[in-house]
Structure 1
Amino acid sequence: MSIAERVVKGKSNRPALRLVSTKDLNRDDWLVVRKNGIGSSDAGAAVGLNPYQSQLELWMIKTGRDADLPKIDPNDDTTPAFFGTLFEPLVASLYTRRTGNKVRRINAVLQHPDIPFMLANIDREIIGVDDVQILECKTAGEFGSRLWRDGVPEYIQLQVQHQLAVTGKMAADICCLICGQEIRIYRIDRDDALIARLMELERQFWYYVETDTPPPADGSDSADVALRCLYPNDSGKTLDLTHDREMSAAFADLVSVRDDIAAREKVEAQLKQRIQQKMADATKAKFETGEVSFKRSKDGSSLDVTKLLQDQPDLLQRYPLTKPGSRRFLVST
């Protein structure tokens, strides 16, 4: 089989290359290495299937335009990423306790032997077992656990298939700690057809990176943040798109969709108020297919800044705070 055929099938006769040792590599240097290719945790975003990150945001990171993008602080103990890193050794230990399979660290960024842009970090290597070779450790809190209701989320499956493609291995186990108290273990077998498609889509994304061409925005919050960071200021100029049929069609569709949303929101408000009126002072109402609650929240307290500044107007000069402006998208017809 030729190299080209092996690449299409996601297989190689050679093992993964150890691109960089991570044993003494700090986080900043590790992030720099990751910009040189698509890592396994990038796979879902690279093909447009990561619910947390868009292709556009990932492209900005890979092309060095991420200076103004929100960053994850690895020391912020209020983030899922912090607990994911903190609990990774525990999850690996629980996996061994549950299955009896021994694991060890790989301490390296791995690279596909035939496709340089395909990189992978493996949480643990499973040793002494014939039917599975890779362990991926995950944690999910109350919100994140919703994505695991029907099994392994799609973007996590793609992450693991990417790892199997880079390493040439045949199977991986995912061990996920749910809400700090439930361990779930899933087996992901190598799917060569899926890997071939994944590699094709990743190559398309990497072409965006190599040609410095931004991929299309996908309507996600991530893409919105990326666009605002990519184009933070307006020039004051007017772009004439009256003869651009594609963009004019997009504008017409936007206006139509907004009108439809407004009409549906009005219907929603009417139905909601109809139920509220029927409930009167009841806290809950049950129906054939579900239930609603209508209860008073706890009283809160806040600072009346307007009144404070009326009484002490010098405070504004003594403690000024400038909030940077942002671009607003307004539609006129």
Structure 2
Amino acid sequence: MRRVLAVALIVLGALFVGLGILAKPYLYRSLAVVPLDQRSTSISEGRGMSVLYPHREDGAAAIDKLVDVDVRSTRQIAGIPGKVPAGDRAKNVFWQTTVRSQAMLDGQPVDLSYSEAGVSLDRVTAEATNCCGDFRSTGDLEDPTKTENATYEGLYFKFPFNVERKDYLWYDTTLRRAEPISFVREEDVDGTPVFVFEQKLGPEEVGSLEAPASLFSTGATGTVTATEMYSNTRTLWVEPVTGVLIDGKEQINDVYEAEGYEPVAKTVGLIGFNEKTVADNAKEWGGKASLLSLIDRWGLLFGLVIGFLLVVGGAFLLLTGRQAEPRHA
């Protein structure tokens, strides 16, 4: 029995040594990748915002200016493994996302906008790869299924694993391009250490349209050329081991301007992840980050030390067991 236990300890020790040696090059790298089948929902809320409310009234298209209203934006993300060729799944993923924004009007939610996008990204760097039929929606609330091919750049959903204190490129869906986002400080969110990044955009013209003059002034007739001017200050709280967003806020100033009139708010105000979304993110990704850090930083040492102790213990039992065997004439 002593010999069996000794051999078991030596074998177990050898396994720990092997695990320690393989912890970073194999175990860590197999875990530190973007999942193919991601499923997540995040909710952002804004108080006292100014927005435009497009709808139908008596069968005709109408648009109302809403001031000092609460806005709720729900984003859902779903990974679709089938969009990525089997031979590319070790490197790329394809995530589809939908965002529906609503405002509270007379105690009831009304739809403001709906958007959809499909983005392929590198499983380690999280940068857009445009490998697998990327698209964005061009429809509206009445027909949200219209899409067009799209080319993305930079980061869209998350940061890379092992985030550094430096500038990255973050994609803005209004500008339809990636712009620098800068590291500004370190913080703690619900017990999870984070890096805080900030991106300042605009003001910049992003489009123009012919709009009814009555949108700018009650009783005005005819149409005017309205120019959309957009600016945004985006702040992201990023868990640095996994690169996942724990919190995010945007100070948006998206308005229509027309000569001779005061600007009209399309979307103006501060909106960001609600408390539950932040708390859930911190709890889930703070724990996963701790596990990855343990494997990355201590896996080799832990495996070697435990393995060495087990091998030494097994060898000791084996040698002392032999010395205790009775001698025969």
TM-score range, shorter chain: under 0.3
Q: TM-score, normalised by structure 2?
A: 0.23
Q: Which has the higher helix share?
A: 1
Question: Over alpha carbons, which structure has the higher Rg?
Answer: 2
Q: TM-score, normalised by structure 1?
A: 0.22
Q: Which has the higher strand share?
A: 2
